Structure 1
């Protein structure tokens, strides 16, 4: 197993729970110029709303409760996602909470940068690393050693 190179043009996933969708749309509008340089993906409803409000192209997976979070997790495992922006609502119970936790776990396991609120998303999008290639380090969980 070899750690993947993260390309200059990132594959960025946008996800937002219902109470956070407007906040995510406002954030995308604010950073539309930078985001337009990357490939955008989203869960179903979030992707539709982001596209309608910003006219940015967004590849849509299923809605989160219908399996979209799991689809994104699979894409992370396959090395096809580089960044996750997930504005989740910590105060509202989600019917697909196990899927959300699994997605967060997979993102951490595969060393994917993930922003869970507006300020962490601001930090991530303003990083010089967002526009440059990057060698992601992974851990070989059989040996506990890093993979470069």
Structure 2
């Protein structure tokens, strides 16, 4: 499965903690990330991640392009709902694309945990039909 990891600045420590906790599950999948988030996760784990630009420089749009081509299976986007983001339209577009293409999306650690545990159980096998 192809999994995107994205986190706003104040949520990057949560994403790192999450990746450390679920490294054994995540290592079996293709990981993609926006720039700084990917760097921070790779520094804390042995995970290999294909990194795009940082979010404000177009990374959210790069991941959105994969979603629009149905080439992303899961998006973990730990958002900071209390801070204004200069690239809010890009964030909204990515979330909308996940809805349009029925791509599971977690915007916080609690939902991310449920989705990753489901991934480990095999609950995402339906994606192999949609994106063989």
User: TM-score, normalised on structure 2?
Assistant: 0.92
Q: Which residue of 2 aligns with 1:35?
A: 26
Give the superposition deviation at 1:133.
2.1
Distance 1:19 1:73 in 2: 22
Distance 2:127 2:94 in 1: 22
Flag the 1:75–1:29 CA change in 2: closer, same or farther, 3 A.
same
Moved over 3 A (4+): 135-138
Aligned residues, how many? Answer: 128
Give the superposition deviation at 1:55.
2.1
* Structure showing greater Rg: 1
Structure 1 or 2: larger helix share?
2
Distance 2:127 2:117 in 1: 19
Aligned equivalent of 2:54, options 46, 59, 63? 63
Check whether the contact 1:43–1:62 (CA below 8 A) recurs between aligned residues: yes
Structure 1 or 2: larger strand share?
1
User: TM-score, normalised on structure 1?
Assistant: 0.82
TM-align CA RMSD: 1.6
Q: Which has the higher contact order (CA 8 A, sep 6+)?
A: 1
